[in-house]
Structure 1
Amino acid sequence: MGELSELELSKIIETSNNNITVTDENGIILRSHPEHWEIYGMESGSYVGKSVYELEEEGLLTPSINAIVLKEKKFSRILQHTKTGRVVMSTGYPIFNQDGQLVRVISYSQDQTEIWKLQEEYEQLQRKLQGYQTEVEDLREKELDHSIVARSSEMQQVLKTIYHVAKTDATILLLGSSGVGKSTFARALHKESDRHREPFIEVNCSTIPESLFESEIFGYEPGAFTGAHTKGKPGLIEQADGGTLFLDEVGELPLSMQAKLLKVIQEKKMMRVGGKKEKYIDFRLLTATNQPLETMVEEGKFRLDLFYRLNVVPIHIPSLHERKEDIPVLLQHYIQKSNEKYNENKKLHSSTYEALIQYNWPGNIRELENLIERLVLVVEEPTIYPKHLPVTISGQTTQAETSSPLSIAQEIGEKKSLKETLEALEIQLIAKAYKECKTTYEMADYLGISQPSVMYKLKKYQQYL
């Protein structure tokens, strides 16, 4: 081999990203990347002249890929677990002379520790998601209503209370923030009651204008007022006869109507507007509010006697941020529900699950359900990534913000060279892809580069990931 070829070969080995090692037919190291041995927890050096068999006996190579190729005389690939806890992918190739004798072995080693960890984490998340899916199906079978999915101890206690009181005619006051699903629990109470075959009449007290409230709630007789229907109209209370009357947002009930409603609750009798005869109505009363009724009583906005009538069995529905344990199964429940509704097969990426679990959900279950339905409808890809989430949830900036010169300058400082600036931006993009993608092939597609380039950049920027 000429001097020029010798220099070329040495430079190729020194500059390669694949940690090349060359041994002879006896396992003696002839050439090696100087930094190759650091991934095995050994001092940086060439180790030229050492035997791979000796390094095996010392426990430094477990096992040696070169020794395996020398023994089997064919291409081999193995995963090595170093004494420092790293995972190394080693590939060995035999070289034969013209007489068919094995004279050299060339091996390549790549540190796969981070990729291996990513794979393990991904598999753990997949098992966790599968567990959530199974749990959703189990909960659907066990719960009072298929729209109620809960695993937290707080919600289990709520469901236990609801099941206990459902068979009675006790007046229930459902308390909780907007969007926690109070109307869903009211329907569950009705379905579990002995009145489940009778009407369930839901009245949102905040949506009926005060001027129309009395006629809507109590109904009216023919000719009771200008514009009244000639045949009259039964009120919502009358429509609930035999069943359940659910007054949602009862804190919005006009003061002028509270005394009349109290009389109906006490006597179970009512009279239509313009009527002259009272009628007995048999109904079970459920109410709900997100307002502090006791405070409203103190402020004179809600009657104390009515409050006592409604507050027989108060049930507090905790907000979603108070029961984080329920979020994973709720996400799985609503992604399945939306997929079935729109004939889709969308799924949430594991990192999307994490972002949604960490979110505070001020709008509670209503916000969660609406978001999932919107994502299933709008996202064209089969997998929903954090980039598809609203910025308020993902905590990520938009692409325009990320790529604007101003944001980059603020992020890395104004006095950086062009090379440093480009490298800083590359680190940002690699880190973003590393977080959102499951495999290096997916990262390559995401970044528009080759998979070997992704491997190189992951190794190069490992300290930033």
Structure 2
Amino acid sequence: MYDDMLEEELNKIIETSNNNILITDQDGIILYSNPKLWEIYGMKSDSYIGTSVYQLESEGLLAPSINAIVLKEKKAKRIMQETKTGHVVMSTGYPIFNKEGHLVRVISYGQDQTEILQLQDQFEQLQRKVKGYQTEVEDLREKELDYHYLIARSNETKHILKTIHNVSKTDATILLLGPSGVGKSTFARAVHDQSNRKKEPFIEVNCSTIPESLFESEIFGYEPGSFTGANKQGRQGLIEQADSGTLFLDEIGELPLAMQAKLLKVLQEKKIKRIGGKKENHINFRLVAATNQDLKEMVSQGRFRLDLFYRLNVIPIQIPALHERKEDIPLLIQHYLEKTNDKYQKYKKIHPSTYEVLTHYHWPGNIRELENLIERLILTIEEPIIFPEHLPQSITGQVDPPEDSTFLAIEQECEENFDLKKTLENVERQLIAKAWKKCKTTYEMAEHLGISQPTVIYKLKKYKKYL
């Protein structure tokens, strides 16, 4: 009676356990098992009691059998199995000895690792993507067209760099157009660094920061005693400082009309005369200008000289906003992460899912906003890895939903469903469907998804009705 009760309790414990349990005797005969165990292997749960694990192993149903291995080696063992149903199982077996030291039982536990491995695969794919970005940054640094401050992955930016490369050896005037913060001064520096003047001065003037009353003296310089408060030795103007080099006039739309006329004369005659001076000096410089304003509209409004506009508009280069060249964003993030870590002796990293969020943010402040954000995160976040939850609400609340984002697809699934298995299956199905539309062959799909070609075929059969 007591033995029957003990037997019944043992069966109930095994049956209701969350673990997948298999118990055999010293000959490998199955005495007890958990019904859930057989589901992983695609087998019926009530037909294997009394069967030898050696027989199941020979039939390929348990290949290999952890219980058989423990019986042979007489010590605890752990192995990974791949079942015919496509599951990956981690099996751990333990020997049980009687008082005489004879092995009398083997108990094993099987843990289905399939879902965990799928999550790991997705995470590794994101890591490979980030590693690819890092590699591209290094490659770009070694190329003739690209410097440490120029990062290009998008076709738009590559086209700009190609144009700069083609015209930099000439003295043609370049007009850089684009919204604030897109890096116009960086591209101006690239023009200088690739030109024949690269060993000469690069003088940058922000026309919006110099008061109109001081503009002429700053730009053209002055002779001693020209006006009250002037330096007794006189002063060289910014245009003179750029002699033989490059003069970069940023925000040229802010240039006062009176100064526009004088600048035009300098461009036409290549001569300059200081305030209070009588002598005109020949000057040789290459002009690069930039603005975030519509100069044509300013001309029609009478706020910008038409003749100066034509002088500047020799080679106009339009620099798009950052959100229009999303491919550059991960590279820029990595660049400023390394730069800021090095500056403050930090070792912060950015999680792949954070890259996804930042890539699909609108970036109204463009590269300047991105650089400032990275510096703020590195200095204010205590954790070694920066996750999406560390980002300001102003960013996470304005993320455009991408067409092909694993991260956002998972987030959406999680909001709608708390079943892990179902969520993973739905996300996997979406990825397979998108790859099926995008790729021409199963081999191309395998490379795109980061899995094997046989796995692609298996997944296509699994999700056939959704394709």
- Given the two structures, how large is their TM-score scaled by the length of structure 1? 0.78
Give the distance between the partners of 1:85 and 1:358, measured in 2 at CA. 35
1:10-48 per-position Cα deviation (integer Å, ceiling 9, x unaligned): 332233221222122343332222333223334565853
Please list the CA deviations of residues 331-374 of structure 1 after superposition, one character each: whole Å capped at 9, or x if unmatched: 22222222222222222222222222232323222222222222
Residue of structure 2 equivalent to 1:130: 131
**Which amino acid in structure 2 is aligned with residue 115 of structure 1?**
I
Q: Distance in 2 between matches of 1:395 and 1:41?
A: 45
Q: Distance in 2 between matches of 1:62 and 1:41?
A: 13
1:308 counterpart residue number: 310
Encode CA deviations 1:75-133: one digit per residue, 9 max, x unaligned.
22111222232211111112233344433221111111122123333334444433333
Structure 2, gaps ≥5 residues long: 399-414, 420-467
Q: In the alignment, does 2:141 pair up with 1:140? A: yes
Q: Is the 8 A contact 2:176 2:319 kept in 1?
A: yes
Aligned to 1:417: none
Q: 2: distance between equivalents of 1:115 and 1:301?
A: 64
Tell me which amino acid in the other structure corresponds to 1:38. Answer: E
Letter in 2 for 1:25: Q
Q: CA deviation at 1:264?
A: 1.4
Map 1:114-263 onto structure 2 (within 5 A).
114-142=115-143, 143-263=145-265
Is 56-65 or 294-303 further displaced after alignment? 56-65
- Give % identity: 72
Question: Are 2:330 and 1:328 aligned?
Answer: yes
Higher mean displacement: 204-213 or 144-153: 144-153
2:339 corresponds to which residue? 337
Contact 1:270/1:279 (CA < 8 Å) preserved in 2?
A: yes
Q: Which amino acid aligns with 2:151?
A: V
Partner of 2:285: 283
CA distance in 2, matches of 1:347, 1:385: 9
1:57: how far off?
A: 4.8
Uncovered stretches (5+) of structure 1, i.e. residues with no partner? 397-423, 429-465
Deviation beyond 6 Å, 4+ runs, structure 1: none
1:408 aligns with none
Q: Which of 355, 374, 377 pairs up with 2:376? A: 374
Deviation at 1:191, TM superposition (A): 1.9
Alignment partner, residue 13 of structure 2: 12
Which of 342, 356, 361 lines up with 1:354 in the alignment?
356
CA distance in 1, matches of 2:196, 2:264: 24
Question: Aligned to 2:262, what secondary structure does the other structure show?
Answer: helix
Partners of 2:361 and 2:63 in 1: how far apart?
45
- Provide the rounded CA distance (Å) in 1 between the counterparts of 2:366 and 2:147: 18
SS at match of 1:148: coil
Question: How big is the alpha-carbon RMSD for the aligned residues of Structure 1 and Structure 2?
Answer: 2.8
1:212 partner SS: helix
Of 270-279 and 207-216, more deviation after overlay is shown by 270-279
Local SS of the residue matching 2:377: helix
SS in 2 for 1:80: strand
Alignment TM-score, normalising by the size of structure 2: 0.78
Q: Report the Cα offset of residue 204 of structure 1.
A: 0.6
Structure 1's 254 and 335: CA in aligned 2 closer, same or farther, altered over 3 A? same
Residue pair 1:34, 1:46 contacting (<8 A) in 2 also: no
Residue in structure 1 matched with residue 388 of structure 2 by the alignment: 386
Cα deviation code 1:221-273 (max 9, x no counterpart):
34444433344332222222222110001122223322222111111223333
Relative to structure 1, is the Cα distance of residues 46 and 205 closer, same or farther in structure 2, using a 3 angstrom cutoff?
farther
Q: Provide the secondary structure at the position in 2 that maps to 1:324.
A: coil
In the TM superposition, 1:13-92 aligns within 5 A as 13-43=14-44, 47-92=48-93
What is the CA–CA distance in structure 1 between the aligned matches of 2:322 and 2:223, rounded to whole Å?
45
Taking the aligned partners of 1:280 and 1:242, their CA distance within structure 2 comes to 11
Matched-pair contact (CA < 8 Å) for 1:92–1:108: yes
Deviation at 1:62, TM superposition (A): 3.1
Report SS of the residue matched to 1:2. Answer: helix
Q: Which amino acid aligns with 1:122?
A: F
Q: Is the 8 A contact 1:31 1:46 kept in 2?
A: no
Q: In structure 2, how many angstroms separate the alpha carbons of the residues matched to 1:255 and 1:173?
A: 18
How many angstroms apart in 2 are the aligned matches of 1:272 and 1:202?
19
Q: Secondary structure of 2:327's partner?
A: helix
**Structure 1 residue aligned with 2:269:** 267
Separation in structure 1 between the aligned mates of residue 294 and residue 43 of structure 2, nearest angstrom: 68
Paired residues, number: 401
8 Å CA contact 2:140–2:146 kept in 1: the answer is no
Distance of 2:41 and 2:360 partners within structure 1: 38
